[in-house]
A and B are shown apart, each in its own frame.
Chain A
Amino acid sequence: MLLVDAGTSYIKILDSTSGKFKILSLAEFKDHPIIKANYVTGHNSNLFSEAIFVNELVALAKGARKIIHENDFTVLDIGSRDMKLVKFSEGEFEKCDWNTSCGAMIGFTMELIMKYFNKVPEDIKDTDMCFDITCGLLGITKFFDNISKTTTIEEGLSALINGLSKFTWQFAGKPQKLYLSGGLSENKIFLNHLQKLVPDLKSLGRTVLIEGLK
Chain B
Amino acid sequence: MSVTAFLTDSTLCIGCKACEVACKEWNGVSEDGFDWSGLSYDNTGAVGASTWRHVKFVETTPEPGLGGNAPELNTWAFSSDVCKHCEEAGCLEACPTGSIVRTEFGGVFVQPDICNGCGYCVVSCPFGVIDKNRSDGRAFKCTFCYDRQKVGLQPACAKACPTESIKFGEVDALCQKADERVRELRRRGMEDAVFYNPVDSSVGGTHAMFIVRGDPRAYNLPPLPEVPTIYLRKGWRSSAIAAALLLGGSILAFLADSDRGRQ
Q: Do A and B actually bind?
A: no
* Chain B residues close to A by CB (< 8 Å): none
